[in-house]
Amino acid sequence: MPLSWPDTFETRVFSTGGARIHARYSQRLSGQPQELPALLLLHGFPESHLMWRDVAQRLAANFFLVIPDLRGYGDSSKEAGLPDHSNYSKRSLAEDMTALMDALGVGNFYLCGHDRGARVAHRLALDHAQRVTKLCVLDIVPTLDVFEGNWLRVPYMDLARDFCHWFHMQQPSPIAENMMGALDPDTAGAYLRARLNGGAHVGLDYLAPQVIAEYERCFCNADGIHAACEDYRAAATIDLEHDRHSRATGQKIACDTLVLWGARGLVPRLFDPLAPWVAQCGARVEGHSIDAGHFIPEERPKTLAAALKTFFR
């Protein structure tokens, strides 16, 4: 079943102070070792925690899994953006995640993020280094390197074309929202399906119709589109301030880091995928490609789950 989860998962809405976070997490069953390590899985744009459904099936016996909808996505709250976009900064979203783990009684944890979730994970690993035991980032290079054109393998014009939504979605509200379909569900659905194509023309065969319908339910409305735009506006403004300050002060990721990317996606065509992370990590960095486009957790769940089991030992 495309939307099925193991019976041992629960769902709950958590208040983090700045948002209401909807999350799915493993039950702690009688007879199960209580020392199972915690693993926090963060989704990307324009999806929700649902993207981890097939990976979770394969990891449930090995980890205490926590799989939330990020602020602004899925069934988490979608507040209006502040003038400086700070409530959608990766710092604020990372604080949501530490509050979530606190509420679940988790101290240290493994962390894996895809796309926007990987950007939250990057900031979380910097701001809360004592909490993150190991980090995995999927199919991104650091935000600051994208905007500054570092490690590029192609002219910046190629980046602007292939990452066009980065520049479009940061335009002032409601210009970007209306163009994306905030006032027209059909336009919003077409936009969503185009983004789920990953920018690499991989098609949508990797997603069942029920899964696409669930993403449409959460994204294709005025609040969902506005929140996603605020995520990207924050990336182009306040997130860059935070990232530049971290680099100026020599702050680096302190834990071992695994970098994975889709061999058929945009990241390896546009960038050196591994070198930016080596430069921003003070511990061991390893990485390799996976035969996939951008949406690795849904295109290759078995391969990804095996890689995570090996790394998060």
Q: Which residue has the tokens 């796309």?
A: 115
Residue 286's H or E segment, with its range, is strand 285-290
Return phi, psi of residue 86, to 5°: -65, -25
- How far apart CA 114 and CA 265 sit, in angstroms, is 13
Q: Catalytic site residues?
A: 115, 294
**Residues pairing with 152 in the sheet:** 271
DSSP class of residue 108 equals S
- How far apart CA 119 and CA 213 sit, in angstroms, is 26
Cβ(120)–Cβ(93) below 8 Å: yes
Nearest to 51 by CA among 61, 60, 41: 41
Give rounded-to-5 percent helix, strand, coil for the chain: 45, 15, 40
- How far apart CA 131 and CA 134 sit, in angstroms, is 9
